[in-house]
Amino acid sequence: MATNESFGWDLLFKTIEPQVNKNADILIALTHFVLIKSKFRCLGVGDDKTLSEDEESSELLPQGWNDSEDKYSLRYVLDKKLFILLATKSENIFIINFLDVESKDVSNLALDSNELVKALKGSLQTIMPTASAVMDRIRKELIDPVFAGSTKAVTTQTAPEPRRDRRDDDYDPLRITGPHYAPGFRGPMGSDPFGFPRGGIGSGDLDPLGRGGGGSLGVLPRLGPHRGGARFDPFGPGPGVRPNPNHDEFPPPGFGDFMYQ
């Protein structure tokens, strides 16, 4: 056992050694020792659930702490909060309960007194060879579930900042030239964030911006009678030019006037 872990035990045990007469006394004394090391102070025996401001606390076990044959009841205080330790022995099993009076949180620990306690006199190593492991259980199973829960800090959780590891043109919520997809989004076929496959048949006709050819305006030849932006039928599908396009002239005057009569 580490020296600092058991530091103070010898002094405590000297004050109670004449009173120790059974294995359960050793387990209660060790539990008290761990509580004191954890900054608790003992108020005395009993299970009174009211705490007075003028009560005196001590690092020592009080008079009468082991008067009962198989039951123990001790009161502790920490940060002006009252805790009660209750223990009872049933055959070889020693059951310890630790109660936070304010929150009503309670923990328990069961120990085999005959298996753990090897002597009533001597050093801690002689009395309980596995004292280090038992002390660890007292902290984790008896003290922490009650004390840690009653003193847990309250924190205000805020929404996390949006991730900025995406491209700028994808992130700006006011930008109209690009979509606002989650980072890593590729769209169908993994080629365009709008989901229009680049270079495939009909890609331009599907893309309202006409990127990659086609689109709503079609592909106008650079030379020929259509220079200057004359109205022209869309070509497609694909970037190639279809021969003999339909010029779709306006109907002759008077054609279909009956529709407006």
pLDDT tens for each residue of 44-69? 999 999 999 899 999 999 999 999 98
Asked if residue 160 is part of any domain, the answer here is no
Q: Is the dihedral of CA 229, 234, 236, 238 positive or negative?
A: positive
Residues 51 and 119 in one domain: yes
Please tell me whether residue 36 adopts helix, strand or coil conformation. helix
Domain of residue 183: give its range.
177-214
Smallest CA-to-CA distance from 120 within 15, 45, 27, 12 is with: 27
Per the DSSP assignment, residues forming a β-bridge with 99 are 84, 106
Residues 9 and 126 in one domain: yes
Smallest CA-to-CA distance from 141 within 116, 107, 113, 111 is with: 107
For the chain, the average pLDDT equals 74
Is a pLDDT exceeding 70 seen at residue 116? Answer: yes
Asked if residue 91 is part of any domain, the answer here is yes
Residues 84 and 134 in one domain: yes
Question: Out of 52-56, 100-104, 139-143, 206-210, which region has the weakest mean confidence (pLDDT)?
Answer: 206-210
Is a pLDDT exceeding 50 seen at residue 171? Answer: no
Asked if residue 243 is part of any domain, the answer here is no
Residues 72 and 114 in one domain: yes
Is a pLDDT exceeding 70 seen at residue 111? Answer: yes
Residues 129 and 36 in one domain: yes
CA dihedral 55, 151, 33, 136 (to 10 degrees): 170
Give the residue-averaged pLDDT of 17-35. 97
Asked if residue 232 is part of any domain, the answer here is no
Asked if residue 238 is part of any domain, the answer here is no
Residues 119 and 194 in one domain: no
Q: Are 28 and 21 spatial neighbours (Cβ–Cβ below 8 Å)?
A: no
Asked if residue 163 is part of any domain, the answer here is no
Number of domains in the chain: 2
Residues 209 and 111 in one domain: no
Q: How far apart are alpha carbons 198 and 191 in whole angstroms? A: 6
Residues 43 and 87 in one domain: yes
Cβ atoms < 10 Å from Cβ of 132: 14
Q: What CATH number should be reported for the domain holding residue 79?
A: 3.40.1000.30
Asked if residue 219 is part of any domain, the answer here is no
Q: What is the pLDDT of residue 249?
A: 55
Residues 101 and 10 in one domain: yes
Please tell me whether residue 39 adopts helix, strand or coil conformation. coil
